[in-house]
Chains A and B, each alone.
Chain A
């Protein structure tokens, strides 16, 4: 291996050290080695080693979202959590699960399903490779966040390894707990820049017995908003209220979950509520797969995938901003989103990179001015060299830098990827 990196030093710490290949590159930045530690202690030693050698560490779970954020400033070592993949503890009666970060999220869910429980997050079933650590580190969200909130609300404890090798935990395995600072939350969404998550504890919810998706066809952004508002401000207690805004079909749908009697009653109420807006129907299984809340454009819907957020009641405005910015430039934009949370994901494709850059910048400018945000999720490296993935931070940027500095003073972990280039 042609490298300055002291590979032998690493081999003294952990058995599985392999040369990195092109497939391990992150936004074109080529790492030198991939290491697969099996314990928190090994993770600690690897990080200490990296720090002393002055090289960077990019933690990797399933690698499904390795390209999120800005182009890394450096990434010599890929630390894969692949071998730390067990469920440590699941006591159904406590409604709590404790898992290693490298466990596949889909595997954890499947085993919880057997006890009629779930972590109430919805990574797409297509993303079988996503790991618990990756889910926490990205704090992405699925449709059900409408009812259950996001990872930061469901994580009740975490064990992390800091850049200097300190192994620390916070929280615990009880749902109600206010002892000490909530580091599990701090690490949620930190994209591997504060430390390596090695374990996470979640509170669980019962698996709903029955579910149905009721959808109303809409034509205009205003109708979409009206449908969302009717559902949101009702007492139906939907689990998700979603937007599907494609060229052929435009829908607002509600995922209704409960016991069978409950679902029936909710379905009836939803039909009554929505019929003045457009054609209402309950989706069958096929339509549900295609139009229901689950599929999302992430990774499949275009060259550039963005996540835009505004206050929920501005859903119509959000749709307009995104479609205006793209339509005019001959860019196709399929919009999907968590309507009642004010979040829309969109995959942009078509036209050239200049047009894509302009479209994203225009939409971001307007959305930020209105108090929201537009984050570039996925894009070719050439695009990312021109547009910052995160957009402007608020007045919390200085504090953010100080937090990063305290946890990772040497900038060992995922340097350059996060907000403000930290």
Chain B
């Protein structure tokens, strides 16, 4: 279909205000949170209902036009990167909360609804939505669903996939299907919902989502412990887990990160080789008693200092220090590359040591700040893009870190997804047969590969790709969200 005709067809469905076709305006959508890659979409459309999406997708299906769904564009793996000569379907106008059903602790929302708005909607009744990615004030439920997003609290409460009850999906041929049981559990049939969550927009477009709400915990307690080295901090983590405690969050930062944080947001953290933040929540009696145990474990692991948050303000300060970690790196390095990989927790100290060696081999610094409870590392490779070749070296080092994690039984990604960024690494983790088997699912949902093609699975590089240094996301710059 000619571009002009396509524009007309889209305007016929969405009206003029629902179609963006001026080159300058299209540039707004040329990348997502991973700004290394940019592709200008042919056309951007802004549907307002599932029927709109269906009609748009039908045309794509008939004309063989590839399309990509986009939520808030905060994805860090290039999942929402447009496809050249394709359509970008932006969900931001589908932001209605369709139903709040407190009796059943469920909420039905359109996919463009912002994660934090779900919790805000029911906060006055003491309920909340558990998955809390650091981007929760901007990222959309549709994007969370597609990425199976996690948050600090997912150690105890699970990921997006554990909190989505049902979804309405527009398939690549324009058919609408409802997967999952809805408000009732256990609809008979295959786990199509479980397969869809985390499929990074390659199996269809979610147009309605039923979420599980939870009662807010009765009590929350947080402590911060400082250690002489990462290993001792690691022992404390093992000790806590070994004691049968499931904290709401366990986060770790190394000395480099702490120093950077102290330079910028100044939370007044002790200068230590490693800092651990542990949060417990739940019924008061349980939390109080387990909190004491956590304290004891930290002492046994030779913590040089333990601070307990005595007020909400103090707790907020602990978290502020942790949340500022990524942004603070800007004060000690011009550029940095964020890695997101996972290792079994018992391999943490070995992998951290290996990262130290790799850092020396490549002659670049790596700062470590991570979700210690579930082994999800976010090593930050620091570099200066103005120095000839350093960008490439940083990328190579980041790649070597991924391989080290895989060698120790880990995974390519813990929460940011494969997207475009890591598809070249997929064969390091999966065999041809593994990936072909995954493709069977793709073929059942989207036989012609029109739905977000070229993501997740390795294919030749796109012509529009422009590799470049990592840059701070605008929402981060604006102070709306922290990278975590």
A interface list, Cβ under 8 A from B: 91-96, 116, 139, 141, 149-150, 152-153, 160, 162, 166-170, 172-183, 185-190, 194, 205-209, 229, 232-237, 258-259, 261-262, 264-266, 269, 307, 309-313, 341-343, 371-373, 375, 390-391, 393-400, 402-403, 405-407, 418-419
Alpha-carbon distance A153/B154, docked complex (angstroms): 13
Contact status A186-B189, CB under 8 Å: no
Given contacts A174-B343, A206-B244, contact A311 B418 (CB under 8 A): no
Contact status B189-A262, CB under 8 Å: no
Partner of A262, one of B195, B216, B285: B285
Cβ of A166: which chain B residues have Cβ within 8 Å of it? 433, 436-437
Contact status B194-A185, CB under 8 Å: yes
B interface list, Cβ under 8 A from A: 101, 103-106, 147-148, 150, 154-155, 158-159, 161-162, 171, 175-179, 181-192, 194-195, 197-199, 215-218, 238, 241-242, 244-246, 282-286, 288-290, 342-346, 371, 374-376, 409-418, 422, 426, 429-431, 433-438, 440-445, 456
Count contacts between A and B, CB distance < 8 Å: 265
Contact status B411-A179, CB under 8 Å: yes
Cβ of A189: which chain B residues have Cβ within 8 Å of it? 189-191
A385 to chain B minimum Cβ distance, whole angstroms, is 19
Alpha-carbon distance A345/B316, docked complex (angstroms): 46
Contact status B190-A176, CB under 8 Å: no
Given contacts A153-B161, A176-B159, A391-B188, contact A403 B176 (CB under 8 A): no
Given contacts A185-B195, A235-B217, A259-B290, contact A169 B445 (CB under 8 A): no
Cβ of A207: which chain B residues have Cβ within 8 Å of it? 244
Alpha-carbon distance A180/B431, docked complex (angstroms): 12
Nearest to B159 among chain A residues (CB) is: A176
Contact status B371-A176, CB under 8 Å: yes
Contact status B186-A185, CB under 8 Å: no
Alpha-carbon distance A189/B289, docked complex (angstroms): 39
Contact status B437-A179, CB under 8 Å: no
Cβ of A188: which chain B residues have Cβ within 8 Å of it? 191, 194
Partner of B195, one of A179, A181, A393, A395: A181
Contact status A176-B286, CB under 8 Å: no
Contact status A419-B217, CB under 8 Å: no
For the complex of A and B, list the 7 residue pairs with the smallest distance between their C-beta atoms, beginning with the closest.
Answer: A185-B194, A265-B285, A262-B286, A206-B244, A168-B437, A311-B183, A235-B218
Partner of A182, one of B182, B194, B288: B194
Partner of B154, one of A160, A176, A190: A176
Contact status B374-A175, CB under 8 Å: yes
Alpha-carbon distance A261/B103, docked complex (angstroms): 30
Given contacts A91-B346, A181-B198, contact A399 B445 (CB under 8 A): yes
Cβ of B440: which chain A residues have Cβ within 8 Å of it? 162, 406-407
Partner of A402, one of B176, B283, B444: B444
Nearest to A189 among chain B residues (CB) is: B191
Partner of B444, one of A173, A229, A372, A403: A403
Given contacts A94-B344, A235-B217, A235-B218, contact A170 B375 (CB under 8 A): no
Nearest to A375 among chain B residues (CB) is: B188
Cβ of B183: which chain A residues have Cβ within 8 Å of it? 311-312, 371
Given contacts A176-B150, A229-B103, contact A93 B215 (CB under 8 A): no
Nearest to A318 among chain B residues (CB) is: B184
A398 to chain B minimum Cβ distance, whole angstroms, is 7
Cβ of A397: which chain B residues have Cβ within 8 Å of it? 189
B243 to chain A minimum Cβ distance, whole angstroms, is 8
Given contacts A172-B409, A173-B409, A403-B190, contact A186 B104 (CB under 8 A): no
Alpha-carbon distance A332/B175, docked complex (angstroms): 43
Cβ of A312: which chain B residues have Cβ within 8 Å of it? 104, 183, 185
Contact status A394-B282, CB under 8 Å: no
Given contacts A183-B195, A261-B285, A419-B189, contact A311 B346 (CB under 8 A): no
Alpha-carbon distance A139/B154, docked complex (angstroms): 23
Alpha-carbon distance A176/B411, docked complex (angstroms): 8
Alpha-carbon distance A120/B346, docked complex (angstroms): 21
Nearest to B191 among chain A residues (CB) is: A185
Contact status B289-A261, CB under 8 Å: yes
Alpha-carbon distance A269/B284, docked complex (angstroms): 11
Alpha-carbon distance A399/B170, docked complex (angstroms): 12
Contact status B194-A180, CB under 8 Å: no
Sampled A-B contacts (8; CB under 8 Å)? A93-B346, A96-B344, A166-B433, A168-B431, A182-B195, A185-B194, A259-B286, A405-B444
Alpha-carbon distance A311/B83, docked complex (angstroms): 41
Alpha-carbon distance A150/B197, docked complex (angstroms): 16
A94 to chain B minimum Cβ distance, whole angstroms, is 4
Contact status B185-A180, CB under 8 Å: no
Given contacts A93-B238, A396-B189, A419-B188, contact A174 B198 (CB under 8 A): no
Partner of A235, one of B215, B345, B422: B215
Contact status A149-B191, CB under 8 Å: no
Partner of A342, one of B148, B185, B346, B456: B185
Alpha-carbon distance A269/B219, docked complex (angstroms): 15
Alpha-carbon distance A290/B429, docked complex (angstroms): 48
Contact status A174-B433, CB under 8 Å: no
Alpha-carbon distance A392/B101, docked complex (angstroms): 25
Given contacts A172-B409, A235-B218, contact A373 B190 (CB under 8 A): no
Given contacts A180-B426, A180-B434, contact A235 B242 (CB under 8 A): no
16 more contacts with CB within 8 A, not counting A181-B438, A235-B217, are A153-B162, A162-B437, A169-B430, A170-B437, A172-B409, A177-B342, A179-B413, A179-B430, A180-B418, A180-B434, A181-B199, A185-B194, A206-B246, A237-B217, A309-B181, A313-B104
Alpha-carbon distance A192/B192, docked complex (angstroms): 16
Alpha-carbon distance A407/B183, docked complex (angstroms): 29
A359 to chain B minimum Cβ distance, whole angstroms, is 19
Contact status A395-B178, CB under 8 Å: yes
Cβ of A313: which chain B residues have Cβ within 8 Å of it? 101, 103-104
A62 to chain B minimum Cβ distance, whole angstroms, is 22
Alpha-carbon distance A175/B344, docked complex (angstroms): 8
Alpha-carbon distance A391/B442, docked complex (angstroms): 27
Given contacts A176-B342, A235-B218, A395-B176, contact A373 B158 (CB under 8 A): no
Contact status A139-B191, CB under 8 Å: yes
B333 to chain A minimum Cβ distance, whole angstroms, is 26
A91 to chain B minimum Cβ distance, whole angstroms, is 6
B98 to chain A minimum Cβ distance, whole angstroms, is 15
